[in-house]
């Protein structure tokens, strides 16, 4: 099996593979918390292929037994060091739900089996490597390391933890998109530069003694002992970090840990178009390693197997999303030719059925920076590009994306090209040319289009960094007008969030009334999940918006969170009592009753007058006619939820992508 894997083009996954390659030892051993999938949607695969292309030998150590150091001795001592990542997502998010209960399924493990990686995987792996090899260079990266590069609030410990670089005892932390960072570090190590002397690489952080010279201008200095004891200072520190995530204007940030000093250098500039094209042209097998076949494969490949990433970065900058802190707010994209070449590879796969599932990225309909000024001045630190209103310098143009989609549709064997990544509906509405909107509705919606209004309350949307609900309303109405004009039956699947910082019960009631006005009965909603690297998480912990310094209400009481969630699903019988309590608490008892405007009936036994009914005393037996979002009539029982507006977000991958 392993021989066939090397023959198929996979990198070594064990010592026997390494020996088959004719190596006496690897240059790097890449330790990852995920199963090995050689696909460009997996960070381990991208970094290992980029290093291979630069002339380095990389061996993969996937999901090693972390209970002892023995598994970390699978290969001889690597020539240059270890690379360590928890995998595609933070290990704590992968393992625990919002209620801190163990998840039952792992998308990045063989067969979806849980328990293949430890909690706080980066820390555990590094400690085991130190046990096995002592003072060997260790470089950590990936999402877990990137979002925890500074002192950070940790929801699972409910406290401010130290930088993961301190706790892991690694030598260098890389953050953001790591291709150029790791090639630079690898070249320095290869030239014999001691790892402790590598201090000037952008996109990296390191520990040194207090007072050592820093290579870049410094934006702020903070002491961990102060940060863990002062919420105000912690919020201020995050604001400084966030405003220095731009590669043009960003500066270094310092944190003190007793006699040590952590220095986070400014970000590495993003890969430009030709560089991105080269990365995606590398010889990925695009497959799960064959050793996992008998275990049921790796579920994480299913969502991306026939999908294409054409862009990186996002200037949408929602406060609950970690993309701005990780990939950055400056957008770069691949050339059309590069994407078409990848699509041709997909069409040649034996199980391709003619459907490209997605042509997207963090935001599918972004391909360029939001304005030319970003190229020379960096992103604005004092305002967002889209919210609450679009910047006057915003450049809106979907023409190249349309051209890309047309080229993909014209390929032999391609029946349909879908867009399933999130689109920015506000960006669509700001485009005076409706060519993309019309093409989207006619060609690229697979029955349901996922969009993210998140809420309707102006106060909550402001805390989220989202546009006002009127923008979504304009999009919604136009979407159904276009759908109707071409004779299709298509629907919007809106993402909704309860208990986001800033959301009071009154705001949840407002959202419930909004849903009622649209005839929407969502089967699933997302409670706000505080994860590292987001401004919303800082609001949750401190009650302060770190980007404005303003105080923010936080629903910290478990009972209130339940009531907010119940209000978004007010039609469910099991939520009735919670909804009644919520309405009474915020003085909206007028919404308890039998009228059309009411959200819930009185409790059983209430003597409130019931409306007369020919079909009986219970209005549940009455037939009614409602209008769906598409404007078509639908007849049915009033109590039966509609399946058309399911907000399916059980996948941890989607939650993480959105910083949840």
Torsion from C-alpha of 481, 485, 489, 493, nearest 10 degrees: -30
Beta strand pairing status for 81-85 and 138-140? parallel
pTM of the model: 0.90
Q: Tally the C-alpha atoms within 13 A of residue 217's C-alpha that lie toward its C-beta.
A: 7
Confidence (pLDDT) at 235? 98
Q: What is the pLDDT of residue 657?
A: 42
Cβ-based burial of 465 (10 A; exposed 0-12, middle 13-18, buried ≥19): buried
Query: Of how many residues is the chain composed?
Result: 660
pLDDT at 3: 54
- The tokens of 294 are what? 């008998």
Residue 609's pLDDT is what? 47
Q: Measured between alpha carbons, how far is 613 from 264 in angstroms, rounded to an integer? A: 69
pLDDT of residue 290: 96
For residue 523, the model assigns a pLDDT of: 77
* DSSP collapsed to 3 states, 196-214: HHCCCCCCEEEEEECCCCC
What's the pLDDT at 445? 96
CA distance 532 to 177: 17
Q: What three-state secondary structure class fits 139?
A: strand
Considering only CA atoms, which of 160, 164, 189 is closest in space to residue 174?
Answer: 164
Q: Which helix (H) or strand (E) holds 239?
A: helix 231-242
Tell me the CA end-to-end span of the chain in Å, nearest whole number: 38
pLDDT at 616: 40
How much is the pLDDT for 345? 97
Q: Give the pLDDT confidence score for residue 26 in this predicted structure.
A: 98
pLDDT at 659: 40
Domains and CATH numbers, the chain: 2-202 (3.40.50.280)
423 class by beta-carbon count within 10 Å (0-12 exposed, 13-18 middle, 19+ buried):
buried
Residue ranges for the chain with pLDDT beneath 50:
1-2, 607-609, 612-660
Angle between helix 505-518 and helix 558-568 axes, rounded to 10 deg: 10
pLDDT given at position 381 = 86
């Amino acid at each position: 099996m392993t021989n066939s894997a090397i023959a198929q083009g996979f990198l070594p996954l064990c010592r026997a593979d390494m020996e088959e390659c004719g190596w006496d030892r690897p240059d790097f051993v890449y330790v990852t918390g995920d199963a090995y999938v050689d696909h460009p949607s997996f960070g381990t695969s991208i970094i290992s292929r980029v290093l291979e292309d630069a002339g380095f030998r990389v061996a993969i150590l996937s999901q090693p037994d972390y209970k002892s150091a023995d598994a970390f001795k699978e290969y001889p001592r690597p020539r240059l060091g270890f690379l360590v990542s928890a995998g595609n997502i933070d290990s704590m998010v992968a393992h625990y739900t919002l209620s801190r209960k163990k998840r039952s399924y792992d998308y990045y493990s063989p067969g979806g089996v849980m328990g293949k990686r430890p909690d706080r995987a980066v820390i555990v792996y590094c400690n085991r490597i130190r046990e096995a090899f002592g003072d060997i260079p260790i470089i950590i990266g990936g999402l877990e390391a990137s979002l925890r590069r500074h002192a950070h609030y940790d929801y699972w410990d409910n406290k401010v933890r130290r930088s993961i670089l301190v706790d892991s005892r690694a030598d260098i932390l890389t953050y953001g998109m790591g291709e150029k960072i790791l090639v630079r570090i690898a070249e320095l190590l290869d030239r014999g530069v001691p790892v402790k002397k590598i201090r000037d690489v952008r996109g990296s952080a390191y520990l040194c003694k207090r007072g050592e010279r820093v290579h870049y201008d410094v934006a702020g200095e903070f002491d961990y002992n102060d940060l863990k004891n002062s919420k105000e200072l912690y919020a201020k520190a995050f604001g400084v970090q966030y405003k220095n995530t731009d590669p043009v204007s960003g500066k270094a940030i310092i944190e003190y840990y007793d006699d040590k000093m952590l220095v986070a250098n400014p970000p590495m500039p993003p890969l430009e178009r030709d560089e991105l094209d080269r990365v995606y042209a590398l010889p990925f097998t695009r497959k799960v390693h064959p050793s996992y076949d008998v275990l049921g494969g790796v579920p994480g490949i299913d969502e991306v197997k026939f999908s294409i990433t054409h862009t990186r970065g996002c200037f949408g900058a929602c406060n609950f999303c970690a993309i701005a802190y990780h990939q950055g707010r400056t957008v770069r994209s691949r050339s059309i030719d590069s994407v078409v070449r990848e699509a041709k590879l997909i069409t040649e796969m034996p199980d391709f059925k003619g459907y490209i599932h997605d042509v997207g990225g963090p935001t599918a309909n972004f391909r360029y920076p939001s304005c030319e000024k970003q190229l020379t001045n960096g992103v604005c630190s004092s305002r967002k590009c889209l919210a609450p209103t679009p910047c006057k310098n915003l450049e809106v143009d979907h023409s190249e994306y349309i051209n890309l989609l047309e080229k993909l549709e014209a390929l032999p064997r391609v029946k349909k090209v879908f867009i399933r990544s999130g689109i920015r509906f506000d960006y669509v509405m700001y485009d005076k040319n409706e060519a993309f909107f019309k093409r989207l509705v006619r060609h690229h919606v697979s029955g349901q289009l996922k969009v993210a209004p998140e809420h309707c309350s102006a106060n909550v949307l402001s805390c989220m960094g989202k546009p006002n609900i009127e923008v979504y309303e304009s999009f919604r109405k136009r979407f159904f007008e276009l759908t109707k004009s071409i004779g299709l039956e298509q629907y919007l699947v809106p993402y909704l969030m309860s208990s986001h910082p800033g959301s009071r019960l009154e705001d949840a009631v407002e959202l419930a009334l909004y849903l009622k006005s649209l005839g929407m009965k969502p089967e699933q909603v997302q409670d706000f999940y505080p994860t590292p690297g987001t401004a919303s998480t800082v609001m949750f912990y401190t009650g302060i918006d770190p980007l404005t310094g303003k105080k923010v209400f936080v629903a910290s009481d478990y009972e209130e969170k339940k009531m907010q969630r119940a209000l978004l699903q007010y039609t469910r019988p099991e939520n009735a009592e919670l909804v009644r309590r919520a309405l009474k608490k915020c003085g909206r008892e007028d919404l308890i009753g039998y009228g059309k405007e009411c959200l819930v009936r009185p409790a059983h036994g209430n003597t409130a007058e019931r409306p007369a009914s020919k079909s009986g005393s219970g209005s549940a037996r009455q037939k009614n006619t409602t209008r769906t979002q598409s404007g078509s009539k639908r007849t049915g029982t009033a109590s039966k939820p509609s399946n058309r507006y399911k907000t399916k977000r059980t996948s941890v991958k989607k939650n993480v992508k959105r910083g949840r």
